[in-house]
Amino acid sequence: MPPHDVSDHTEQNEYEGFEDVLVARGVLDAGQLESARTISRSTGEDFVEVIVERGLAPRQAVMSAMSQYLGIPYRSLVTDDIDPRAVKRIPRNMAFESRVIPVSIDAQAIVLAACAPLDVQAQENLSFASGLSPAFTLCDWPDIRSALDHFYPRVATSEEAISEDEELVCVIRLEGGRLEEEECIDSELDEEKSADLLDRLIASSVKRRASDIYIEPGADKATIRFRVDGVVGKVQEVAREVYAALVSRAKILSELDIGEKRRPQDGVIFMTIGDKDVDFRVATVPTIYGESLTMRVLDQTSTGADMRLLGFEENDLAIVLQALREPSGLILNTGPTGCGKTTTMYSMLRNLDGMATKIVTIEDPVEYRMENATQIPVNNAIGMGFAPLLRSVLRHDPDTILVGEIRDAETAHTAAQAGLTGHLLLSTLHTTDAPEVLLRLMEMGVEHFYIRAVVKLIVAQRLARKPCPQCRVSYKASADELSEMGLPADQSVDIFRAVGCPACSSGYRDRTGIFQVMPMTPKIEELMVPGVQLDAIRREALDDGMRTLWQNGVKKVLEGQTTLEEIRRVLPR
């Protein structure tokens, strides 16, 4: 397919050029073209579908014209033509977004059925995702759509399942109990029942705002736990056969190998609950009692977060926004797993979005979708780890690159090179605080002069839960608590305590980020010499105005954004 580079993303019209061909070939007259254009623009319906559905021209004529215009063959498409191995190479979201279905595959190329011209960005995304060069064939959209629905099915769960949440626990207990009583330990729940159980479990997790569902086997029972606002709580214990049914069902839906129980696997379940699309990443890990299963909600809504809403202090935010205006260098974000790094990184990217930048992300896995960005999943099975992908991405000369994580020397080194050669690179590490990142980079063999030249900003973060506004209780901090917070003993300070009510049950609702923002100052750059001690970096950063995570946490406690218990739980002292 010839490139249709559309530099102005705001007024994108993939059919520009083709419209003239339709008139030139006499498929439409000028008036018909204008009305198809107008209807398409005002309803958001696809231009070709408008022409065909409103009877302006037969589909065959429109598509033949497009085939000639794009210089690719036009053919019919039936489900049997499609090789499932090809389908596996293209992620669902990308296939739907570009309205293509992979048809066949060989060592060099993947053949994709498309129904409309694709811009360069979309073609690049497909090429990156498949690791192959794409060849196109033109097919009718209704055929492609039904193939997409067939090969990337979405599981529907009714809204009633959510309203029956309270019954969930009873149902699982009942199912488990009944089976035990009847001593049919080896029998399997029938398919319909196990489907129902998983549906209810998922609906219940959505209603409770859980981010993860854990199904963990034990010697004679399995435990189901939910993670809500970052904290894991037990939901229910279930009998082994209920566990087996839940795991099998989840594996079927996420297209994992049911028979494979000894090796970790992961996949995605695409679900529609009521009228809301909720997708889950499913991962299995073998344990001595069988497979342990984690289902994580892939929440597409939380990624648009305004940086102001993440919890940055006003002056820290100014420093971050300043760093994002740098044309090149490294911006690094650090903290333990689940501390909100991905959300922060995406907020940073969105801050760049809209400017004239080309953004590429390399992630393991790609969890959030971002328009106008090329998103590439790491695939270690075919040797496509962070470092090799980053090297190949650099050949496409993007302005901004997000690398999911720097966890080895090779990636660290390639990232530093990228930052030195005119790219702004964002990535994450696992360290206790921001100063420690510099030491970690040195440990991974990045030369000190590289670090000095390339690192622009380091952000450390944690997530702390907010006390539920309906049940929190205000109280005067004790002398011990004042001293713990580093405040004078005679100060009178009101802070909140979490209590718990039917609305929140845990006493908490939602979370806020606690950040430590450390810009690379000239004095810290000077410290980047072999053998530098972590304490020296920390001291210099504090002298330069950086605050510790604890200090920023205390500030959040005093503002009523979180509680003292909570920052004790999540922050290093």
Q: Which stretch binds Zn ion (CB under 5 A): 37-45, 87-95, 132-140, 471-479?
A: 471-479
Query: Which residue, chain included where needed, has tokens 């009998």?
Result: 239
Q: Does 470 bind Zn ion (CB under 5 A)?
A: yes
Closest CA to 241 of 224, 222, 258, 254: 222
User: Of the ranges 332-340, 439-447, 477-485, 497-505, which one interacts with Zn ion (CB under 5 A)?
Assistant: 497-505
Q: Are 93 and 369 in contact (CB under 8 A)?
A: yes
The nearer residue to Zn ion, 208 or 538, going by C-beta atoms, is 208
473 binds Zn ion (CB under 5 A): no
Nearer to Zn ion, 285 or 473 (CB): 473
Q: Is 397 left (phi over 0), alpha (psi -120 to 50) or beta?
A: left
Minimum distance, C-beta of residue 368 to Zn ion, in the bound complex (Å): 29
Look-up of token digits 């129980």: 261
Nearer to Zn ion, 341 or 472 (CB): 472
> Which is closer to Zn ion, CB of 129 or CB of 504?
504
504 binds Zn ion (CB under 5 A): yes
Using CB under 5 A, pick the residue from 122, 468, 537, 549 that binds Zn ion: 468
Segment (H or E) for 300: none
Per CB under 5 A, 110 contacts Zn ion: no
Burial of 480 (0-12, 13-18, 19+ CB in 10 A): exposed
Where helices occur in 44-83 by DSSP H, the ranges are: 47-53, 59-70
- Say how many C-beta atoms besides its own lie within 10 A of residue 89's C-beta: 19
Instruction: Count the residues in the chain.
Output: 573
CB of 472 to Zn ion, least distance (A): 7
Query: 82 or 464, CB closer to Zn ion?
Result: 464
Residues 556, 7: Cα–Cα separation, whole Å: 43
Q: Of all residues in this chain, which one has the CB nearest to Zn ion in the complex?
A: 468
Span near Zn ion by CB under 5 A; candidates 57-65, 338-346, 380-388, 499-507: 499-507
Q: How far is the CB of 497 from Zn ion (least distance, A)?
A: 12
Q: Which of 109, 318, 501, 536 binds Zn ion (CB under 5 A)?
A: 501
Measured CA to CA, the distance from residue 378 to residue 386 in angstroms comes to 6
If the CB atoms of residues 502 and 522 are measured against Zn ion, the closer one turns out to be 502
- CA 59-60-65 angle, to 5 degrees, is 100
Distance in Å, CB of 504 to Zn ion, minimum: 3
Q: Name the one range near Zn ion by CB under 5 A: 16-24, 154-162, 230-238, 504-512.
A: 504-512
Q: How far apart are CA 326 and CA 352, in angstroms?
A: 11
Q: Least distance to Zn ion from the beta carbon of 565, Å? A: 15
Is the Cβ of residue 296 or residue 509 nearer to Zn ion in the bound state?
509
Count residues binding Zn ion (CB under 5 A). Answer: 6
Question: Measured from the CB of residue 399, what is the shortest distance to Zn ion in angstroms?
Answer: 45
Region 5-24 residues binding Zn ion, contact defined as CB under 5 A: none
Which residue, 138, 317, 150, 294, is CA-closest to 223?
294
Query: Residue 567 Cβ, how far from Zn ion at the closest point, in Å?
Result: 19
Minimal distance, residue 374 CB to Zn ion, in Å: 43
Beta-carbon contacts of residue 522 (< 8 Å; ≥ 6 apart): none
Residue placing its CB nearer to Zn ion in the complex, 394 or 504: 504
Select from 204-212, 342-350, 495-503, 561-569 the region that touches Zn ion (CB under 5 A).
495-503
Q: How far is the CB of 499 from Zn ion (least distance, A)?
A: 7
Sequence-ordered list of residues with C-beta below 8 angstroms from that of 421, at least 6 positions apart, any chain: 328, 394
Closest to 158 in 3D by CA, of 107, 199, 114: 199
The span of 129-137, 208-216, 498-506, 527-535 binding Zn ion (CB under 5 A) equals 498-506
Nearer to Zn ion, 46 or 229 (CB): 229
> How far lies 322's CA from each of 304, 327, 456, in Å?
20, 11, 10
Rounded to whole angstroms, the Cα distance separating 307 from 318 reads 11
Residue 279 parent element (H or E): strand 276-287
Asked if 499 and 469 count as a contact pair (C-beta separation under 8 A), the reply is: no
CA dist 485 and 479 (Å) reads 10
Stretch that binds Zn ion, among 141-149, 304-312, 434-442, 502-510 (CB under 5 A): 502-510
The residue from 57, 394, 471, 495 that contacts Zn ion (CB under 5 A) is: 471
CB distance 489 to 479 below 8 Å: yes
310 binds Zn ion (CB under 5 A): no
Q: Which of 402, 266, 283, 275 is nearest to 332 (CA)?
A: 402
Which of these ranges, 24-32, 172-180, 272-280, 466-474, lies near Zn ion under the rule CB under 5 A? 466-474
Q: Of the two residues 158 and 470, which places its CB atom closer to Zn ion in the complex?
A: 470
Give contact residues for Zn ion (rule: CB under 5 A). Answer: 468, 470-471, 501, 503-504
